[in-house]
Amino acid sequence: MNLVTVFGGSGFLGRYVVRQLASKGFFVRVIVRNPNEALFLKVYGRVGQIQLIGGDIKEEKKIQEYIKGSKCVINCVATFFETRSQSFNVLHVDAAKTLANIARKERVNQFIHISSLGASTKSSSQLLKSKGAGEEAVLQHFPDANIVRPSLIFGTEDTFFNRFAKLSSISPFIPVVGSETKFQPVYVDDVAIAISLLVETDQQKRYLELGGDETYTFKELISMLLNEIKRKRIILKLPFSLAKVMAATNDFFRLIFGDLVPAFLTLAQVKSLENDNLVDTKSDKFSDFGIVPKKLEIVLPKIVGRFN
Ligand SMILES: NC(=O)c1ccc[n+]([C@@H]2O[C@H](COP(=O)([O-])OP(=O)(O)OC[C@H]3O[C@@H](n4cnc5c(N)ncnc54)[C@H](OP(=O)(O)O)[C@@H]3O)[C@@H](O)[C@H]2O)c1
């Protein structure tokens, strides 16, 4: 059967993946923690083409049932900050490993694991370290798995540009950590198209690093955003030493009070900004799939136009 099961299909990238798969005629089963909040996915397909199942990737005993009959399983699940019930290791390593293991046992033909550029077990950032360990765990249990590592993803629902645009509505300053750190921002639908092509052409063992053609520093991205929404704000470059103290304080209060304290800045985020986020020229990339990545300056007005 032409069935693809997507975990994390209600998320920012996941919804575009679901839409691309549906447009290519696949039946898509989406495992979501709250199906009512994911009903919008239904309109991406014909009646009955998209199936929403309430479930959690951590429910090891139910994974077999969730993926039954699938030709492909895609893991888009992630968290950018830890909560009491979801640590980086639990979600990015243990859950990914279990999913890959059960997928292999169930004879799923293809496994696609979404990771991040910079993922490495040697990273000083707990986030990127867990993403690196997650990749290794997946490949250990599903050696033919495809690993997809995007750079910073932009699109209408992104957290990056939307968050800084919101901040500019209430603050004369925009604090930036790692102002000179370089990124190759990539359009969300381009990543989704690449993933859907992996499925359509039944690729195995591909290792994709996906970034746009242009490289920008963090500061340049914020300047571009401010320019787009026509706001003059002071870009405050925070040194890493100060940012780490602030982030450690935020982490500490979250450890004690849990989600009552918002994750403004985490140590894992700060440390992930210490290195550039650029595509490795040796990996597979968009050009291998005939995709010309969309330019940020074309899409940015659509993302933040409402703040103008
Ligand atoms: N966004 C970026 O700029 C970026 C850059 C590089 C790599 N990536 C990678 O791309 C992938 C997708 O990221 P994203 O930006 O789309 O993240 P996202 O919007 O936060 O989506 C994460 C998804 O995971 C789901 N999820 C979380 N915990 C779950 C659980 N226990 N069981 C089942 N589902 C669970 C969430 O569902 P709920 O609605 O239930 O919370 C959500 O659908 C991740 O692997 C991320 O590391 C993203």
CATH number for the domain including 9?
3.40.50.720
Please give the C-alpha separations between residue 202 and each of 71, 99, 234, in angstroms, as whole numbers. Answer: 9, 19, 49
56 lines ligand 1 (CB under 6 A): yes
pLDDT recorded at residue 283: 87
**Would residue 227 count as lying in a domain?**
no
Q: Write down the residue that tokens 């290794």 correspond to.
A: 136
Q: Which two tokens stand for residue 133?
A: 């360990």
pLDDT recorded at residue 284: 87
Mean pLDDT over 126-146 rounds to: 98
Q: Whose CA is closest to 19, among 220, 191, 192?
A: 192
| 195 C-beta neighbours (distance < 10 Å), count | 29
pLDDT recorded at residue 285: 86
**Would residue 92 count as lying in a domain?**
yes
Mean pLDDT over 206-231 rounds to: 97
The pLDDT of residue 24 is above 80: yes
Which atom, in ligand 1's list, is nearest to the CA of 57?
A: 32
The pLDDT of residue 8 is above 90: yes
- Tens of pLDDT, residue by residue over 81-111, are 998 889 999 999 999 999 999 999 999 999 9
pLDDT recorded at residue 182: 98
Which atom, in ligand 1's list, is nearest to the CA of 79?
A: 20
Which atom, in ligand 1's list, is nearest to the CA of 58?
A: 31
**Would residue 165 count as lying in a domain?**
no
33 lines ligand 1 (CB under 6 A): yes
**Would residue 114 count as lying in a domain?**
yes
Distance 10 CA to ligand 1 centre (A): 8
Q: pTM of the prediction? A: 0.96
Please say whether the beta carbons of 146 and 112 come within 8 A.
yes
The pLDDT of residue 308 is above 90: no
Please give the C-alpha separations between residue 124 and each of 93, 265, 270, 279, in angstroms, as whole numbers. Answer: 16, 16, 10, 19
**Would residue 136 count as lying in a domain?**
yes
**Would residue 72 count as lying in a domain?**
yes
38 lines ligand 1 (CB under 6 A): no
Handedness of CA 134, 57, 112, 23 (dihedral sign): negative
- Tens of pLDDT, residue by residue over 155-211, are 999 999 999 999 999 999 999 999 999 999 999 999 999 999 999 999 999 999 999
Q: Which two tokens stand for residue 98?
A: 């279990």
pLDDT recorded at residue 282: 83
Distance 188 CA to ligand 1 centre (A): 13
93 lines ligand 1 (CB under 6 A): no
272 lines ligand 1 (CB under 6 A): no
Structural domain count, the chain? 1
12 lines ligand 1 (CB under 6 A): yes
List the residue whose alpha carbon is closest to atom 18 of ligand 1. 11
**Would residue 189 count as lying in a domain?**
yes
DSSP assignment string, 137-186: HHHHH-TT-EEEEE-SEESTT-SHHHHHHHHHHH-SEEEEESTT-EE--E
The pLDDT of residue 14 is above 70: yes
Strands 153-154, 186-187: pairing kind: parallel
What are the backbone angles phi and psi of residue 221, rounded to the nearest 5°?
A: -65, -40
Q: Which range marks the domain in which residue 140 is found? A: 3-155+185-212+278-293
Mean pLDDT over 141-162 rounds to: 98
Distance 131 CA to ligand 1 centre (A): 12
Q: Which two tokens stand for residue 61?
A: 């005993």
- Tens of pLDDT, residue by residue over 232-286, are 999 999 999 999 999 999 999 999 998 889 888 999 999 999 999 999 888 888 9
Q: Write down the residue that tokens 């604090």 correspond to.
A: 175
152 lines ligand 1 (CB under 6 A): yes
Which residues of 14-57 form beta strands (DSSP E)?
Answer: 27-32, 50-54
The pLDDT of residue 13 is above 70: yes
**Would residue 20 count as lying in a domain?**
yes
Please give the C-alpha separations between residue 263 and each of 152, 165, 255, in angstroms, as whole numbers. Answer: 19, 18, 11
pLDDT recorded at residue 1: 64
Where does the pLDDT of residue 19 fall: very low under 50, low under 70, confident under 90, or very high at 90 and above? very high
Distance 172 CA to ligand 1 centre (A): 31
To test the pocket of ligand 1, the residue of 40, 77, 275 to mutate (highest count of ligand atoms within 8 Å of its CB) is 77
Which atom, in ligand 1's list, is nearest to the CA of 158?
A: 1
Please say whether the beta carbons of 222 and 164 come within 8 A.
yes
- Tens of pLDDT, residue by residue over 103-131, are 999 999 999 999 999 999 999 999 999 99
Q: Which two tokens stand for residue 32?
A: 């979501």
